[in-house]
Structure 1
Amino acid sequence: MKQLVYLLVLLFSIGVIGCRSTKKLNTAIAKKDSVVTTVLADAHADSMNYIRDVFSKLEKNRIDYKTFSAKMKVEYWDKDGKGPELMVFVRMQKDSLIWLSVNATVFSYEAFRILITPDSVKLINKKDKVVQFRSVKYLEEMAKIPFDFKNVQEMIIGNPLFLDSNIVSYKKGPNSISLLSIGELFKNLLTMGNENYLLQHIKLDDVDVIRNRTCDMTFSNYDGSAGIPFSTFRKISFTEKSKIDVQMEFKQFSFNESLAYPFSIPKNYSIQ
């Protein structure tokens, strides 16, 4: 079950993103190099107009879709070293469901099939012939934050997460622009290219400074063959009491095709 645990850690990363102190976060964004940092509370009108323009261009790169399918290789590392490599087939219908087929590449068989909706999570464990039914509320309890199905889909697609219009500062460099926003749940340090405005990096920190959790996500290897710039290589690092690194490499992907979501439960499987 360890492979599944880390796959779910990947998909429900919103439950393990964390916090550093405000002092550390401000230090990171105010680092002195070849960049200009502007705190918007003290900014002039031209700076406010600039950041609104940047925000608008970032939003224009947000991927909209009806359906999405992909094949991706998932690798992870924890305190015990590298875990088994997984091949995951993903099918999604926007705002409705996420279908996953998780294959253990070492053994060349489908280990799990998962169906996630805004209300529920269903899992077929083919190795142990067990079916599990869970509500999204259960996942909220595990994540310790309000669970949002939409954010899970956004992360898989590669759209910005938890980006709030309450932008408090920005950093402009020779090749990138960073925005720091503070929302109800998270401080979000987001970095994009300063020419194409494609997402490069997200740093999320819990606004509750008592919790010692953090998450870094990087997005690279953009492929525009489907008419939409799509990041085919992602790295995600989670740190709380220990560190987990997850790497996603999309081998195939497509948008807006007619999809099926098979999820039949064999009669001889037990229900948990």
Structure 2
Amino acid sequence: MTARTRARHRADVRPTTFLSATPGGRFARRGALATAAAGLTVAFAAPTASADTGHIVESGDTVSEIAAEQGTSVEAIAEANGLDSSATIYVGDELTIPDGTEGSIGSSSSSSSGETSTETETSTETSTESSTSSAVDIARQYVGTPYVYGGSTPSGFDCSGFTQYVFSQLGVELPRSSSEQLYAGTQISQSEAQPGDLVWWPGHVGIYTGDNQYIAAHSPGNPLSEREIFMSDPTFIRVA
């Protein structure tokens, strides 16, 4: 009698490729091919068993979506799983999700944008204050300079020559005469005036230093000085 031999069937196995044969198994493959790039759709491969806890990658998952759902960030997931920006995640991969809430990409971007906006506004305010304060600082360096009619240098100033010289040190070109300087900026009320604004009367101009004080080249025989505003109804001009 002829012996019957039971047919043997080859067990199903996952195809061996360069990626699955890489030493270290799934984690090595994931390190080489997992993606940290936001918005990249997962590729398809046979599920890989894992005892790790975390998120099991499903069809259509992206790292950015996983991060948003888990309340963390792409960067945190990438670091926890050894991912790099050139890799791809696979269906069935199990990603370790870091403990704690680090914020999703959307919230991070929004927060960053808000901080940048606040910093820009603060920087603009600081720049304006710095310009006006600098005008006063420069002006005070010339206290005691003699009054010279038509003078516009530190060897001697008249009133408009002095204001023109101070603002030129800040890169601001004022007209030469006091009558023209009346229209060199925006006229403001006395309550709005800040140190560094021009203070003007017909035939005379100086630089406001605050607390009802101003600095100017006053008249022949009176050297440049800082004193109280004594004339009525001054006009204040915001130049910068």
TM-score, reference length from structure 1: 0.17
> Which structure would you say has the larger RCO, counting Cα contacts within 8 Å and 6 or more residues apart?
1
Structure whose CA Rg is larger: 2
Q: TM-score, normalised by structure 2?
A: 0.19
